[in-house]
Chain A
Amino acid sequence: MSVNGKKPKFAMYWAASCGGCEIAVLNTHEKILDVDANFEVVFWPVAMDAKYKDVEAMEDGEITLCLFNGGMRNDENEHIARLLRRKSKILVAFGSCACEGCIPGLANFSSIQDIVDTAFTTISTDNPANIRPQVSFAAPEGEIHIPTLNPVLKTLDQVVDVDYYMPGCPPESPQIAAVIDLVIKVLKGEAELPPKGSTIGAGNSTVCDECPRKRNEKLIKAFKRIQDIAPADPDLCLLEQGIPCNGPATRSGCVARCPQAGAQCIGCYGPAEGVVDYGARLISAFASVIDSDKPEEIDQILDGLVDPAGQFYRFNLAGSLLRASKAAQMSGNR
C-alpha cells in the first residue's frame, strides 16, 4: 500500500467550525489507529503538532487525503483553504460547515455590520464609546491586526474546488470509519473512488427512510411545538404528530438519531440526494401532510411554523440557491 516505501499523507483541518467534527473523528476510537497505520499524518492541529510551514513547503498534491471542516468566515480561512487545495490530491468538504455553511451560515440572513453591531451592543456590553473591532489597530506601541470578516459566510466549494462532500453536523463516527476503510481499500487497489463531486459517508435516501417511527399517512390540522406535546408518542412519525420534522428533505446517514431520541430532525445531513433546493423540498413535504383544501385554513396551519426561513434553511443557507439575504450580500459592497 505504500508508494515508494512511503505512506500516503493525511491531513485534517478546521476553519470556522466548532471542533465537533474533530471530536467525531476521535470518537471512531480504534479507527484512528488505522489512520495512523496506513497514512503519514502530516497535518492535524487537534491531534498532533501542527506544521503549517511544512505544508507550505510541500509539493503540490503531496497530501493524498485532506478532510477539511469549517466554513469560510474570514480572509484567513480562505487563505488556508487555497493552500490545502493546492497541496492535496483529494480534498473532502468534511461536515456541514464546509459542505453547506451549517448553523454559522444563518449569519447570512444579516449584514456583517449588523452581526458585529449586535455583539458589541448586548445588554452586558459596557461600550460607551461604541467601539468596534478594527482590522488594523494603531496601539501606542505599534500596529496590530486581526482578520477581515467576510460579508457572507461561504462554503468550502465557493472558494476552492472540492472533490467529495461528507455531510453531517458532525458526520457520524461509523460513517467516518467506513470512509477511512474505503480510502484504505482504494490505496490497496481493492476498491475505486466514487466519481468526483459525490457525497460520501452518507445514504442516498432520506432520514425518514431510516426512521423506525411508524407512518400512517395521517394528515395534520396544525403544526405543534415539541414542548407542547412532549413527550411525543415514541412510535409514531413526528411529522404526523404535528412536529415540523425535517426528515423528508434531509439526506440519510445518521440512522435518524434525533427522531429516535424523541426530537425532530433538524436537517444536519443536508439536502437528500438529487434535491436542488432543500427548502422547496421541505415545503412540499409539509404541504403534503396538511389536512385541508381551503386556502385560508392552509395559511392558518402554515402560520404554525414560527420561523419558516430557519426551518427551511437552518443548516444549508450558505450553500443554498439563496446563499444570503440581500442585506448580507449588499454588506460586501461597502
Chain B
Amino acid sequence: MQHISIDPITRLEGHGKIEIFLDSKGNVANSYFQIPELRGFERFCVGRPVEEMPLLTNRICGVCPEAHHMAAAKAADAVYHVDPPRTAKLLRELLYSAFYCTDHTTHFYALGGPDFVMGPTAPVAERNILGVIHKVGLEIGGKVIQMRKYGHTVIEMIGGRKVHPCTSIPGGITKGITEEQRKEIEEMGRWAVEFAQFSLDIFNQIVLGNKEYVDLILGDVYTHRTYYIGTVDEKDKVNFYDGKVSVVSPSGKRLGKYAAAEYTDWIAEHVEPWTYLKFPYLKKIGWKGFVDGEDSGVYMATPLSRLNAADGMATPKAQAEYEKFYSTLGGKPVHQRLATHWARLIELLYAAERWVELVTDPEVTSPNIHTKPTEKPTEGVGIVEAPRGTLTHHYWTDERGVVTRANLIVGTTNNYAPIQMSTNKAATSLIKDGNINEGLLNMVEMAFRAYDPCFGCATHSLPGQMPLEITVHNADGEVVDVLKQYVE
C-alpha cells in the first residue's frame, strides 16, 4: 500500500499533519489529519479562582485571546449567577466587534484571500499579502495595516492590553471609557465600515467577476452537506457575543436553538486514538463517522455556518450583502466551503456596523460597569462566537469560586471532522489510479484554509498558515516522490 504523508514543514511546531494511504490501485484508501499537541488547560484551570479564567484561558490562543476572554468572563458571570450591567455588556461586545474586524481582515488579506485575489493557480510566491498589494494597489497595504491598528487600539482602550485583554471580570468590567475615547472609537468604527465595504468591492470585482473562480467555489470538490451551527440574537440574526446557538440541517431546516447551559444536550466529542484532538458532533444525530448528510452528526461552525444557521444579519448593509450572497449561490444553506471567504467579509461588514452601533449607544460611557456578585458560585457556561467557530467554556467551582472542573470546546475544534473530510475529499478527487496530481498540494491546502483553522486554539499549539510537504511512499514504505510547497 502506498503511503503519502502531508506534513506541514512546520510539523515540529505542532500544526497538524495529514497521512494519506493509497490502495493497491493507487486510489485513496483513507487519510488521517493528525493534531500533535495537547497543553492541558482543562486540567490546570482546576484549583484556580474562576475570575482568573478570562486571564488564563486567554493564553490558549494569542490570535483570538479576546474570544477566550469573553467566553470565560460570561461563564464566570454564570458561575456567580450575576448579570452584568448593560454598559459592561456594550463595552465587551464593542471590544469584540473591533477584534472581529482585525481578525477577519488578517484572514482575508493575508491567509485565505490571496488564493482568490491572486488566483488559485498563481505561483506560490505571489499568493500572499504582498502579491495582493501588488495586484490591487499599494494603498491596500496601508489600509490593512490601518484596520489592524484601529482594531488593536480599541482592544487596548477597553481591554487594557493589545494582546491578552485583562478587564472582563465576573459581573462586568473593571474600567469604562470616557466621552473622548468614545468619540475616537466611533471615528475608527466609521472608517472600518468603509474598509469592509471596500473589501467586499474587491471580492466582487476579482472573484465574483471571474467565472473561473465562481466555478471553483461552486465545484463539488469543496462541497459537504453537513449540519451548521452559529449564535443568533432573539430575532435569529447573527450575533458574535450573545444569544442562542442555532442548529440547522443540511437541508436548511432548523433543528433547534440551545442556550449556553444546554450545550451538553446538543454537543458531544468523539475520540480517535491517532490524534490529540477530539471530534465534536451533534449528539441528537449521533456520530456516524467522517461522512456527510442528514444522518451524520458532523457539523461545521465557521462564518459560512453562522450565515446558514441564522435568518439574516442585524445591520442593514450586511443584510443587503447577505441577501446577495444567497441569491448568487442558489439559496440556503450554502454547502460550498470556499464560500466561507465571502461569508467572512459579510461578517466583517456586520462587525464594523455593529461597532458603530454600540459606540453610539447613549449608555456606553455610563460609569455603571459592574454588578457585585452576591450569590454562591456554582457552575456556569459561557458561549461566544470565535471567528473560527462557536466557543464554549464551562466551569464548576466550590463555594469560594475556585474551579473544580472545566470543559472547553474551542472554535477550530468544532470543525475538526469537516476539515478531516474536506482534505480527504480533495485528496480522493485528485489522486486517481496512482497518479498524484501536482495540484494536490494547493487544492488540499485550500480545502482546509477555508476553515481558517487555528490550531493554536484547537490544539493549544499554533495558528497560521500551513505549509505542506507530501511524501509518497510505496507499499514497502520507500519514498517514491516528494511534493513540496512553501518548502523551497
Contact = CB atoms under 8 A, between A and B. Distances in A.
Interface of A: 13-24, 26-27, 29, 45-46, 49-54, 73-74, 76-77, 79-80, 102-104, 106-107, 109-110, 114-116, 118-120, 122-127, 129, 131-134, 137, 139-142, 144, 146-147, 149, 169-170, 173, 225-228, 230-232, 234, 257-258, 260-263, 266, 268, 306-307, 309-310, 314
A126 B172 contact: no
B275 interface: yes
A129 B270 CA distance: 11
B37 A19 contact: no
Nearest to A115: B40
B136 interface: no
B49 A306 contact: yes
A173 B488 CA distance: 31
A24 B12 contact: no
Contacts of A22: 62, 464
A213 B414 CA distance: 43
- Which 8 A-B residue pairs are closest in the complex by CB-CB distance? A20-B62, A261-B160, A262-B174, A141-B21, A115-B40, A18-B62, A106-B44, A103-B59
B464 A45 contact: yes
Given A124-B407, A227-B80, A266-B55, A119 B486 contact: no
Interface in B16-45: 19, 21, 29-30, 32, 34-40, 42-44
Contacts of B467: 45, 49-50
A306 B402 contact: yes
B487 A51 contact: yes
A110 B40 contact: yes
A227 B21 contact: no
A119 B59 contact: no
Contacts of A73: 14, 37-39
A227 B14 contact: no
Given A18-B59, A141-B29, A266-B52, A123 B372 contact: no
A307 B487 contact: no
A207 B264 CA distance: 42
Nearest to B407: A122
14 contacts: A16-B461, A20-B61, A23-B163, A27-B163, A49-B124, A73-B38, A106-B44, A107-B43, A115-B40, A139-B274, A141-B1, A230-B171, A257-B166, A258-B166
Contacts of A140: 30
Given A14-B13, A16-B14, A52-B10, A225 B49 contact: yes
B409 interface: yes
A139 B12 contact: no
A144 B14 contact: no
A114 B394 CA distance: 19
Contact of B59 (A102, A115, A137, A227): A102
Given A18-B65, A103-B59, A230-B370, A261 B159 contact: yes
B370 to A, nearest CB: 4
Contact of B372 (A142, A230, A258): A230
Contacts of B56: 103, 106, 314
B178 to A, nearest CB: 12
Interface string B159-181: 11111101101111011100000
Nearest to A317: B44
Given A19-B464, A115-B44, 12 more contacts: A50-B486, A122-B269, A124-B264, A126-B268, A131-B273, A133-B273, A139-B30, A142-B3, A142-B21, A147-B37, A262-B160, A307-B52
Given A124-B263, A257-B161, A261-B166, A20 B59 contact: yes
Contacts of A26: 148
A127 B279 CA distance: 11
Contacts of A19: 61-63, 456, 462-464
Given A20-B163, A52-B10, A146-B34, A107 B273 contact: no
B30 A124 contact: no
B369 interface: yes
Contact of B402 (A110, A139, A268, A307): A307
Given A20-B62, A147-B37, A310-B48, A227 B273 contact: no
B167 A45 contact: no
Interface string B435-465: 0000000000000000000001000111111
A74 B36 contact: yes
Contacts of A80: 12-13
Contacts of B62: 17-24, 170
Nearest to B267: A124
A124 B461 contact: no
Contact of A18 (B44, B61, B487): B61
B13 A51 contact: no
A53 B166 contact: no
A176 B269 CA distance: 40
Contacts of A124: 263-264, 267-269, 280, 407, 409
Interface in B50-86: 51-52, 55-56, 59-63, 65, 80
A115 B34 contact: no
B10 A16 contact: no
B488 A45 contact: no
A173 B274 contact: no
Given A123-B264, A139-B274, A225 B51 contact: yes
B215 interface: no
B44 A169 contact: no
Interface in B389-430: 394, 400-402, 405-407, 409
